[in-house]
Amino acid sequence: MRVAQLHITVAAIGCFAASSPSLAQQVPEVVVEAPHVETTTVKGAPALSIVYKVNYADLNIGTHSGAVELQKRIKDSATQACAQLKKLYPSSVDTDPPCVQTAIKNAMAQANKAIAAAENTAK
């Protein structure tokens, strides 16, 4: 039996564009997901993770300073999400550093693609 994963969006970080987005536009954001590992498994219980969406519409990620700021936002969001999970599930098998490291690693994979695309556009 496959266990469904429940995502809770708890925060959006960054500024949103003032204009109304069209359906064709993509929101420039990176998803930071703090994974949760239960110490016990309950049959049929969903796994829980906390998702933060890090918006970077206000950054020029094609520049070094913009890319560094995005990385900082991702690290801050991962730290906050994992801290929130630890409060909700203090007996979790996953401790802070692995949770934060996993969340950062997965989000930075998305961010690095966006950064590379922005750098190529700037050339």
More confident residue, 68 or 27: 68
Does the pLDDT at position 1 exceed 50? no
**What is the reported pLDDT for 2?**
31
- The predicted-structure confidence for 101-114, as pLDDT tens digits, reads as follows 999 999 999 999 99
Query: pTM to 2 decimals?
Result: 0.71
- The predicted-structure confidence for 26-58, as pLDDT tens digits, reads as follows 789 999 998 876 655 556 666 678 999 999 999
Reading the block at residue 8, the tokens are 């809770």
Residue found by looking up tokens 């890319």 in the block:
67
More confident residue, 80 or 95: 80
More confident residue, 3 or 97: 97
Assign 12 a pLDDT band (cuts: 50, 70, 90).
very low
C-alpha distances in angstroms, 112 versus 25, 28, 100, 102? Answer: 20, 13, 18, 15
For residue 10, the one-letter residue type is: V
Rounded Cα distance, 38 and 71, in Å: 28
3-state secondary structure of 3: coil
Classify residue 107 as exposed, middle or buried by CB count within 10 Å of its CB (0-12, 13-18, 19+): buried
Rounded Cα distance, 85 and 63, in Å: 33
Number of helices and strands (H, E) in the chain?
2, 3
Do 105 and 84 form a contact (C-beta atoms < 8 A)?
A: no
Does the pLDDT at position 60 exceed 50? yes
